[in-house]
Amino acid sequence: MRYSRQNKILELISTYDIETQDMLLKLLKESDFEVTQATISRDIKELQLIKTLSPSGRYKYAVGNYSDKPVSERFLKIFRETITSYESAENLIVVKTLSGCGNAAAEAIDSMAISHVVGTIAGDNTFLLIVDSKSNVPKVLEIFNDIITMRLRNNDR
Amino acid sequence: MRYSRQNKILELISTYDIETQDMLLKLLKESDFEVTQATISRDIKELQLIKTLSPSGRYKYAVGNYSDKPVSERFLKIFRETITSYESAENLIVVKTLSGCGNAAAEAIDSMAISHVVGTIAGDNTFLLIVDSKSNVPKVLEIFNDIITMRLRNNDR
DNA sequence: ATGCATAATGTATAATAATACAAAAGGAGG
DNA sequence: CCTCCTTTTGTATTATTATACATTATGCAT
């Protein structure tokens, strides 16, 4: 699945100095992502990764800084496309995602910095979202609904 | 000459959306810089340019932001290698450079943000450096000497 | 389920970029 | 001027990346 792979890519480039897409290809294989260089090229374009010069004078991939709107776009997209269901219990919200996408989705949430959300813990296809108090859970759920129904898109105006 | 060409490259990428080194090659030709793709590749590495995604979804070259030390390194180098002489008159310093390098050298100075330096105006092989007052000119000249004798390098410690 | 539309990926290749090596272009010191 | 050393550039090639086109998956409405 695309998003969990891209999430792994982000993880890999922050861990290793990755000089080429082929190198990335091999590392992805080790994590059981069987893809081709072409797909990686497209992922890199979508993630807006850039080839920078590492201190050692060699090229390496890194996240670009050119992004304010685009990134949040991406996260909204991840949110909409990977979350399959959610329900609340006390001050927690249990969110189900496509398998392998728990982390990616949770990180998307984190990066949105939704108010009242204290933190997240992610598993493979589920993540737990901790709300500051039970009484604020409805507010958070409403934001979820807004995102899914794209109502948030209009806030860009 | 290398520095004036690189300066032109910076100018070009800030003016046009340049997608490939070949495109850059052609634009440089129009400005009478006759070089090959190989040289441009090296310039790009040295300038730490990166290929970003332009709003239109195509790739374009841009200046990278990864730089704090490296850039100032580069400017010091430009300074040392392009300035041929200088002398002061009242609160001005007239600096002679290799031909075509006036702008590059002046920009290097600007980016150093030397105190008492109010601004610069550059020609092809000369630039004028305006000091806030005549009495501060010696201080600026001393900094110049420090740079040229590499004494500044030790300040990094 | 079936058919249609859309998105994701692979295949093969063209386009683009990096570099090993060689050649030229500058100096600095004698 | 010559010799040695260093820097810059070109040439030719390899390595790397992007993409056109074909194929396979995925979802959605019937």
- pLDDT tens-digit profile of A18-36? 999 999 999 999 999 999 9
Give the model's pLDDT for residue A149.
60
Burial of B106 (0-12, 13-18, 19+ CB in 10 A): buried
> Which chain A residue has its CA at the smallest distance from B58's CA?
A45
pLDDT at B48 over 60: yes
Helix H or strand E segment including B145: helix B137-148
Q: Which residue has the tokens 């300066």?
A: B7
- pLDDT tens-digit profile of A100-153? 788 888 888 877 778 888 888 887 788 888 888 889 998 888 888 777 665 543
Q: What is the amino acid identity at position A149?
A: T
Give the model's pLDDT for residue A17.
93
Which residues in chain A have their CB less than 8 angstroms from residue B45's CB? 53, 59
Number of H helices, E strands in chain B: 6, 6
- Which of residues B58 and A85 earns the better pLDDT score? B58
Give the model's pLDDT for residue A72.
67
A63 CA from D12 C1′ (Å): 34
Query: How far off is chain A from B41, nearest CA to CA, in Å?
Result: 12
pLDDT at A82 over 90: no
**CA-to-CA separations, B14 to A142, B49, B122, in angstroms, rounded:** 43, 11, 19
DSSP string, A38-56: HHHHHHHHHHTEEEEE-TT
A106 CA from C23 C1′ (Å): 57
